[in-house]
A and B are shown apart, each in its own frame.
Chain A
């Protein structure tokens, strides 16, 4: 799929992961340019996508707040600015074995949603919720597989394409949402048959 990102600048903050690198390549491929100074049209905030201990995401939070305010201050041009959080699908459904990680993810999701309300209408703010991606995992936990109706891990390109859709210049009424790319893990957790 293609989205028209011609003449748009993007910046990526936070964790440098295989997912964030693949997304950067896809943004370039769709016409956007990476910018290292000034106000970008698109800001990607990358958080740790493999469940583990709790983590500090204060840098991403500060960056979102600062860049969001700058995008908003740029004035009219509804939805021209876009902020996308790369989260784990565990942001909306905690994992028993990773309480601190789940809590930090949930906090990032709540912040994303509040920021979307604050920055509308100039800036759209959304999140990707990654399930089990890749083998060995680039995102998610192998235990997710038994509750995913698609019975396989997702691929990095499936994750990246969902991100492109959330940044789609035509998706102008979409803000404050997390789209999970998890093969149904987050709705199928009740039973594995």
Chain B
């Protein structure tokens, strides 16, 4: 699709990752001024330099969403540069790689680390970006990147599953609170996507679940993982002026995985 985001300022967190990069690109292609924010500043800068529009339309920014101070100073940098925030894409998130274990063996420090980024970080980031968005009174959009694991539970990643289910419901609560103030809040729940993380776990020969990919794909009617661009397309629609009566929705982009039982 093609839409008009001319002049709008979009912050994308976790923007140096595969899905984040695709989201930034689609927003930029449709005219938005894009803030490429990531906890890894160098990666954000390197990617920002590849986007169309140059320094007038693109900025890189280090934001660690788990750290409220980093979030506040990042949003302040954005306001100094672009003067407003219209779209926030809460894309940053982490999952466990090393601790693929059931809950009775799940390390408390890993539980805290994941919840701190995926859930607390989304709250910190939303709070900080909503302040100028609401103050300006011109409306706005928030798109939370959840996961199908927030809709259909999976094993051996309880903290991630719990955090993503929380994001699904947080999206709905935010939509109800912010709708009367002109800010629409929706979620995208990606299925399995070819990104750095899933490649390490599933789609490379030395991943913990290597060799089980086919078994896993039996549950996905489209029989393949998704691409970052396919996730970005849904984010683009939910950021576009045309989705102005859509709020509180969590759209799974998952090749039919959560449509029902495939057996």
Contact = CB atoms under 8 A, between A and B. Distances in A.
A8 interface: no
Nearest to B225: A173
A170 B253 contact: no
B221 A174 contact: no
Contact of B222 (A133, A151, A173): A173
Contacts of B3: 1-2
B247 A113 contact: no
Interface string B216-257: 000001111011011101100100111111111101111110
A175 B221 contact: yes
Nearest to A129: B249
Contacts of A78: 222
Given A165-B243, A183-B247, A187-B172, A174 B230 contact: yes
Given A170-B229, A171-B233, A1 B2 contact: yes
A176 B177 CA distance: 29
A161 interface: yes
B258 interface: yes
Contact of A155 (B180, B229, B245, B258): B245
A88 to B, nearest CB: 14
B137 interface: no
Interface string B109-146: 00000000000000000000000000000000000000
A149 B179 contact: yes
Contacts of A118: 221
Interface in A135-154: 148-151, 154
Q: Count chain B CB atoms within 10 A of each CB in A2, A3, A131, A173 and give the residue with the most.
A: A173
20 contacts: A1-B2, A1-B237, A1-B240, A118-B221, A120-B221, A121-B255, A131-B245, A149-B180, A150-B180, A150-B184, A151-B180, A162-B243, A162-B245, A171-B237, A173-B253, A174-B233, A175-B256, A175-B259, A176-B259, A176-B260
A41 interface: no
Given A162-B237, A173-B191, A184-B172, 8 more contacts: A117-B221, A117-B259, A117-B260, A149-B247, A165-B1, A171-B230, A173-B254, A174-B233
Contacts of A117: 221, 256, 259-260, 262
A87 B252 CA distance: 18
Given A2-B2, A173-B222, A175-B221, A120 B256 contact: yes
B255 A113 contact: no
Contact of B233 (A164, A168, A181): A168
Interface of B: 1-4, 172, 175-180, 184, 191, 221-224, 226-227, 229-231, 233-234, 237, 240-249, 251-256, 258-260, 262
Contacts of B2: 1-4
Nearest to A154: B245
B244 A173 contact: no
A151 B247 CA distance: 12
A187 B175 contact: yes
A172 B176 contact: no
Which 9 residue pairs are nearest across A and B when measured between Cβ atoms? Answer: A176-B259, A149-B179, A120-B221, A154-B245, A161-B242, A173-B230, A187-B248, A184-B248, A158-B245
A133 to B, nearest CB: 8
B31 to A, nearest CB: 12
A48 B229 CA distance: 34
B257 to A, nearest CB: 8
